[in-house]
Each structure stands twice: as C-alpha cells, then as structure tokens.
C-alpha cells in the first residue's frame, strides 16, 4: 500500500511536470506531443487513440516522462560538451547513447506490465508487435539495481558492439526505397529480403513510439533522416484495413515494384530468398502474385524456426512456428533478358501438381514440419510448376488461369496428401467429410511437432477449489480455431462446404447426438479415480464427473463415423460405461473398422491435456477387451 512519502513524491512530480511541460529543446517540445495513429481499423495501432491517448506523451505517466527527459538532458549535455576532433566517432558514440535511451523508453511506459510467466520484473511495451492496452500496468524504477534500468540499456548496446566487432566481415547500410533500388543491373549474386507481411505489422505507425524520442536527439546528427514530424508512411507496403480493396491493390503494386527491382539487380544465375510468415491465405496470395508479376520463378520453400512459440500473437491462432523461406530465381534467359511468351498447358500443370506435393510432404514430415508450417512450405515446389511459365492457359478455351485458381488446386492437393498421412496411408475416402475435415483441421493446428494446438480455453472459477491442481490437469475447451480463409480453403480441398470457422468441442454436440441439454461444468474439479478392470485393463473412469448432464438416451446411433465416435466419447465422459459397451457391441459402432481408424488418428491429433484427447484414448482401451 502507498504511504505518505509515496503521495508526497507524486505531488512533487506533478508540480515539476506542470513547470516544465511546455518547455522546448532543440526546437521541439521536451515531451513528445506528436499525435498517435487514429486508424481504428488495425488491431495493432488503434488502441491508444481509442482510449484517449492522443499524443505519444500520453503513453507515459508524468513520473516516467520526467525521468526519461532527465536521462535525455544528461546525454544532450555530454554531447554539447564532448570535445573530440574525430566527428565520426563522436556521432557514432552519441547515436548509440540515444538508441540506448530508446531501449529505456520501451521499458518505461504505461503499456508495460508485470512479468507473471515465471520471470520477474517488468515486461516491455513491445512484448508483441502492437500497442496493446494494459489495464494494470507496472511502473519500473529506471535507477533500480536489477534490470529494466538505464545501466541495462547502455550495457546491452555495449555488449552488442563488442560482439559485432569480432566479426571478420563488414557491410554497408543504405537508406532507400525498395521500389527504387540504388544498385545497378545484374550486380548481385543474392537478393534476400524479409518484406512486410500484408496486414500483420504496421511498421511505420509502431516505429513512431521510438521515432519521436530519437529525433529529439539525433536530428542534429542525421537531419535528413529525422526531417519529418513522424516517420514516413506513404510509401510503406501495408494493408491497414483488410476490408479496403484499394489498400490491397496498393500493397500488391508496391510489392511487385520492389520484387521487380530484385530481378533487375540480380545476376542471371543469382538466387533470391524471400521470407514470409503470414498465416492467412489472402496474405500469401497477394504476396505471391506480386512475385510472379515481377518475373520470379519460385523453385522451393523451406520452413526455418524463427518464430518464438510463446509469443502473444501465436496464442489461440494457427500462427506459423516457422518463417517460410521462398527460394526463387529470375525468369530470364541465359543472357539476362526476360523470358517472353512461355505458355503452359493447364492440364499438364494439374497433372504434375499432386506428384510434386506427394514428393514434398513426406520429406517435410521427416523433418518434423507439420500443420500450417507444412501447408505453406509446400507453396514453393507447387509454385515452381506454375511460375516457370509467363502464362498458363486452358487448352481449347484459351482462358488464362489465374494464380488464385491455381492456389485453390494447391490447397486441395495439400489437404488430400496431409489426410493420407494422418490416416497412415489408409483409405480416408471411406470416411465422411465431417471426419476428414475434423482430422485435417486438427492437423493444421499442429506446428513443427508441437501438438499443444490452438485451443480456446474455457474460463474456470477456481475460488471454491480446495484441492491443489494436478501438474497435468486437462483442459476444458470452447473449440479449436483456424483463420477463417485457411479453414475454408482446407474444407474446399476436402469437398466440404464451410459456413463457420470453429471446430466445436465434443461437449457442445451432446444435444445434437443425444437430445440432451448442453453439458455444464461443475464448480469443483475432482481428482480422477482409477479403477482396475480385468476386461478393460486400467481404464480411468469418470466416477466423480466433471460435467453435469441429464441422462444420455441412445435413441439412435450417429449418421457418420465421427458422430458415433463422439457419442462413445460422451458416454465415457459421463461414466455410462455399460451403455458404452452396448453401443460398441450390440449397436455395432465398434464393428466398423473405420471407427477405430478414426479414433486412432484423432488420438494423435487432439492437443494434449484436453478432454477430447483423454476421452478418445479411453474409448480405444475398450477395443481389445471387447474382442474387436
């Protein structure tokens, strides 16, 4: 609790703030009064403006502003009094100090929060690439002796310089527009770029958080770089509003120009690498269209683990665990002239596509690449078939085939191949579309062998729980989510129509399958009991039920194999073991080989520690005991 000294300190801060808030230094206000982005359509930038933070100074408390300005003044004073005839060294030194100040700014705003994930201290403003609201923020002391302080800020910069000084190579950095590259034609052996990811990160808007502080110190050193009120944004390639067709067109046009410049500066036998990690098919389509339009042939694609698995924006979504590196080459002749009028036959392209996917998917699986990573990693080899031609036409009608139409075929081929892998080479076509779509959906959520999945967890009230949670406590879920367009493409590839984009948890199907009301979770979580059964080995029974549900009446077996498997899982989950035996034997659900094949596949696909995983595993334990 705050004491009298705390309130006195805050009063002194408020008085000092009122005294200096209108002061100026280097021709600018000492506190950043530039406007925050007012674009409310983009999830990453609209929050400050919506909540009344109209200037960048509004993102800081008065105490934070005063402390940050104090450090800034000290650097300015040293810069003014620094006597060194080596101007380049002086500029480099103070550039590093102002950048170090920027790191302190990142840890000293009202968007910081307490680190409650196992570490300690404060989590910086940009724990993700967004300006997210924090309702109970943590204010760090910049002179504390542990971390998130000024010492840590400049020592981090110092350590980086020491590390890089040991490098045996050096490079040159240039500030230029990617659509107007300064290098001459055919001058590079390699063109490697990590371009903006469609509508993911509004780089210009987010960089203003640092820009407004840096320009107050670095304008005198780099006047050409800090001549604008805020960072330049007109030429950035970003879709701020995904619903804006005009922004999508502008993004693709700018990307095409940048990619065309890459073709121009690359030698005829040079190689290009384009990094992309967007999870939406619309982002991929726009990006790939710009590359093909620029004259690239995409020859392969490789997933490389670059994305942190615990990052905030990967939770609850089908985010990629890897960045996909597209390997490409210019579509040119040996002399460097662009290839003209190379027409491909649509039938030949379609015939070659499944073979290419069939060669590539098992290779990725051997490397531990699964789910969304594997889907997008197949784009490179699939696109090589299409991009080797300047145009692909439908023979007879002479209709040109668009990239979008081809990618629909790619999603379908990938879905079918993945389904064959899920069912270990079995005949997945013997299963109805709901089973195939469920299996493919869950497989897509996996990434790089991580089978935790993307689970929407159900909120739980633990206040009445007087028992200690078990280490591997299972999760109650509200479903398994995919980005809608990805889900729709997968469903189309499996011959299914998709109106909604959430895979329902089995619990929510109780009414549909049994005519029962929705299962309700009990307020207390009971420890599971283990009962020894000779017939069914050590089957864990749900004697202390986690859910309240009326009597399940088996009026009729489900129409599809998936329906029947879900019925069996629900019977087990509510302790109806005798009814489950009758259902498997007398009603014949267990006599269908497809039932057990689907159960085996879903066991490996449902995320660990979820009820669905536990229930389907338990149902399988009855197979041997009942003689199937």
List, for residues 447-494, the tens digit of each pLDDT value.
544 444 455 554 443 333 333 344 444 555 566 776 666 676 667 666
Which phi and psi angles does 297 have, rounded to 5°? Answer: -110, 120
Cα angle for residues 601, 371, 132 (degrees, 5° grid): 125
pLDDT band at 534 (very low <50, low <70, confident <90, very high): very low
Residues 270-299 have pLDDT tens digits of 999 998 876 667 777 888 888 888 989 988
Q: Is the pLDDT of residue 386 over 80?
A: yes
Q: Please say if the pLDDT value at position 116 is more than 80.
A: no
State the pLDDT at residue 462.
37
- As a whole number of angstroms, the distance between CA 212 and CA 56 comes to 8
Residues 6+ apart with CB under 8 A from 194: 274, 275, 323
Burial 106-145 (b: 16+ CB within 10 A, else e): bbbbbbbbebeeeeebbbbbbbebbbbebeebbebebeee
Please state which of the ranges 20-29, 308-317, 348-357 shows the lowest mean pLDDT: 308-317
pLDDT tens digits, 101-110 = 999 999 999 9
HEC per residue, 308-338: CCCCHHHCCCCCCCCEEEEEEEECECCCCCE
pLDDT at 478: 60
Averaged pLDDT of the chain: 80
CB within 8 A of 398, min separation 6: which ones?
Answer: none
Q: How far apart are the first and last CA of the chain?
A: 66
Do the bridges between strand 266-276 and strand 188-193 make them parallel or antiparallel, or are there none, so unpaired? parallel
Inter-residue contact 138 to 116 (CB < 8 Å): no
pLDDT at residue 547, as a whole number:
53
Among 103, 106, 109, smallest CA distance to 151 is for: 103
Q: Answer whether residue 558 shows pLDDT above 60.
A: yes
Element (H, E) at 100: helix 87-106
pLDDT at 619: 93
Q: Which helix (H) or strand (E) holds 62?
A: helix 62-81
Rounded to whole angstroms, what are the CA distances from 415 to 228, 444, 491, 496, 608?
49, 9, 8, 12, 23
User: Measured between alpha carbons, how far is 441 from 318 in angstroms, rounded to an integer?
Assistant: 10
* pLDDT at res. 59: 94
pLDDT tens-digit readout, 240-278: 887 888 988 898 899 999 999 999 999 988 999 998 876
Give the residue-averaged pLDDT of 595-623: 89
d(CA 275, CA 313): 19
Predicted confidence at residue 458, as pLDDT, reads: 47
For the beta carbon of residue 162, count every other beta carbon within 10 angstroms: 9
* Residue listed under structure tokens 């011959």: 495
Q: CA-CA distances (angstroms) from residue 303 to 320, 378, 483? A: 9, 10, 20
Per-residue pLDDT at 100 exceeds 90: yes
Spatial distance between the Cα atoms of 324 and 524, rounded to a whole number of angstroms: 45
Residue 171 φ/ψ, nearest 5 degrees: -135, 180
Give the burial string for 543-559 (b: 16+ CB within 10 Å, else e): eeebbebeebebeeebe
Residue 30: CA atoms inside 13 Å, Cβ hemisphere, count? 21
329 beta partners:
297
Per-residue model confidence (pLDDT) at position 360: 87
Per DSSP, the residues of 490-504 read HHHHTT---S--EE-
Q: What is residue 401's DSSP assignment? A: P
- Please state the rounded mean pLDDT for residues 176-204: 89
Phi, psi of 335 (to 5 degrees): -85, 5
Residue whose tokens read 């549900």: 549
Output the pLDDT for position 20.
92
Task: Give just the sign of the alpha carbon dihedral 162, 166, 170, 176.
Answer: negative
pLDDT of 467 reads 38
How high is the pLDDT of residue 256? 92
Q: Starting at the earlier edge strand, list the strands of the sheet with 296-304.
A: 188-193, 266-276, 323-330, 296-304
Q: Are 287 and 346 in contact (CB under 8 A)?
A: no
Lowest mean pLDDT among 205-219, 485-499, 569-583: 485-499
pLDDT at 309 exceeding the cut of 70: no
Per-residue model confidence (pLDDT) at position 437:
81
Count of all residues that appear for the chain in the document: 628
User: 459 and 484 in contact (C-beta within 8 Å)?
Assistant: no
CA dihedral 189, 191, 192, 196 (to 10 degrees): 180
Cβ–Cβ < 8 Å for 446, 421: no
pLDDT for position 471: 42
Is the pLDDT at 80 greater than 90? The verdict is no
- 122: nearest Cα among 141, 106, 102, 138: 138
Mean pLDDT value across residues 45-67: 89
The pLDDT of residue 190: 94
C-beta pairs of 32-37 under 8 Å, 24+ apart in sequence: 32/56, 32/57, 32/212, 32/213, 32/216, 33/57, 34/208, 34/212, 34/229, 34/230, 35/230, 36/131, 36/208, 37/202, 37/205, 37/208
- In this structure, of 168-172, 359-363, 478-482, 602-606, the range with the lowest mean pLDDT score is 478-482
* Per-residue tokens: 200: 């993911």
Angle of helix 403-422 versus helix 379-387 axis, rounded to 10: 140
| Confidence band for 433, pLDDT divided at 50, 70 and 90 | confident
- Among 312, 288, 306, smallest CA distance to 298 is for 288
pLDDT tops 60 at residue 305:
yes
User: Which is higher by pLDDT, 506 or 42?
Assistant: 506
CA distance 614 to 612: 5
Q: What is the pLDDT of residue 137?
A: 87
Cβ atoms of residues 122 and 115 within 8 Å: yes
- Position 564 pLDDT exceeds 90: yes
**CB 252 within 8 Å of CB 289:** yes
What's the chain's Rg over C-alpha atoms? Answer: 30
User: Stretch 315-343: mean pLDDT, rounded?
Assistant: 71
56 pLDDT more than 90? yes
């Amino acid at each position: 609790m705050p004491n009298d000294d705390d309130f006195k300190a805050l009063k002194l801060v408020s008085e000092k703030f009122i005294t200096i808030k209108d002061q100026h230094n280097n021709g600018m206000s000492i506190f950043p009064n530039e406007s925050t982005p007012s674009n409310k359509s983009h999830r990453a930038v609209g929050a400050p403006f919506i909540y009344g933070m109209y200037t960048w100074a509004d993102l800081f408390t008065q105490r934070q502003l005063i402390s940050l300005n104090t450090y800034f003044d000290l650097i300015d004073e040293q810069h003014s009094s620094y006597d060194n005839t080596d101007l380049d060294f002086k500029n480099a030194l103070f550039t590093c100090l102002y950048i170090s100040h920027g790191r302190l700014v990142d840890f000293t705003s009202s968007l910081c929060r307490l680190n409650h994930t196992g570490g300690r201290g404060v989590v910086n403003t940009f724990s993700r690439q967004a300006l997210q609201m924090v309702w109970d923020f943590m204010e760090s002391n910049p002179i504390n002796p542990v971390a998130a302080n000024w010492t840590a800020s400049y020592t981090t910069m110092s350590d980086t310089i020491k590390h890089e000084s040991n490098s045996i190579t050096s490079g040159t950095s240039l500030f230029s527009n990617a659509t107007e590259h300064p290098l001459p034609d055919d001058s590079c052996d390699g063109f490697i770029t990590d371009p903006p990811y469609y509508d993911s990160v509004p780089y210009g808007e987010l960089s203003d958080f640092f820009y407004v502080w840096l320009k107050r110190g670095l304008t005198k050193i780099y006047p050409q770089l800090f001549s604008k009120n805020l960072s330049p944004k007109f030429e950035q390639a970003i879709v701020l509003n995904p619903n804006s067709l005009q922004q999508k067109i502008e993004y693709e046009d700018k990307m095409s120009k940048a990619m065309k410049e890459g073709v121009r500066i690359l030698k005829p036998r040079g190689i290009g690498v384009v990094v992309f990690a967007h999870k939406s098919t619309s982002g991929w389509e726009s990006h790939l269209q710009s590359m093909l339009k620029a004259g690239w042939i995409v020859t392969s694609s490789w997933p490389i683990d670059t994305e942190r698995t615990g990052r905030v924006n990967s939770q609850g979504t089908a985010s990629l665990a890897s960045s996909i590196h597209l390997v490409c080459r210019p579509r040119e002749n040996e002399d460097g002239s662009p290839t003209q009028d190379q027409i491909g036959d649509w039938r030949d392209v379609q015939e070659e596509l499944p073979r290419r996917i069939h060669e590539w998917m098992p290779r990725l699986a051997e490397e531990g690449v699964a789910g969304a990573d594997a889907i997008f990693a197949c784009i490179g080899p699939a696109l090589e078939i299409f991009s080797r031609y300047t145009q692909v036409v439908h023979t007879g009608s002479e209709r040109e085939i668009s990239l979008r139409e081809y990618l629909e075929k790619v999603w379908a081929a990938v879905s079918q191949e993945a389904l064959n892998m899920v069912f270990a080479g079995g005949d997945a076509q013997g299963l109805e579309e709901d089973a195939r779509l469920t299996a493919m959906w869950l497989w897509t959520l996996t990434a790089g062998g991580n089978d935790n999945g993307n689970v929407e967890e159900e909120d739980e009230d633990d206040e009445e729980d007087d028992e200690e949670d078990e280490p591997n406590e299972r999760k109650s879920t509200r479903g398994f989510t995919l980005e809608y367009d990805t889900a729709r493409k997968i469903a189309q590839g499996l011959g299914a129509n998709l109106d909604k984009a959430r895979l329902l948890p089995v619990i929510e199907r109780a009414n549909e399958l049994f005519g029962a009301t929705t299962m309700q979770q009990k307020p207390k979580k009971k420890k599971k009991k283990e009962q020894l059964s000779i017939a069914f080995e050590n089957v864990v029974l749900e004697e202390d039920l986690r859910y309240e549900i009326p009597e399940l009446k088996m009026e009729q077996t489900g129409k599809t194999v998936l329906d029947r498997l879900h019925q069996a899982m629900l019977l087990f989950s509510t302790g109806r073991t005798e009814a489950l035996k009758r259902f498997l034997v007398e009603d014949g659900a267990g006599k269908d080989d497809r039932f057990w094949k689907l159960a085996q596949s879903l066991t490996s696909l449902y995320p660990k520690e979820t009820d669905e995983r536990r229930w389907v595993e338990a149902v399988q334990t009855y197979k041997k005991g009942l003689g199937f």
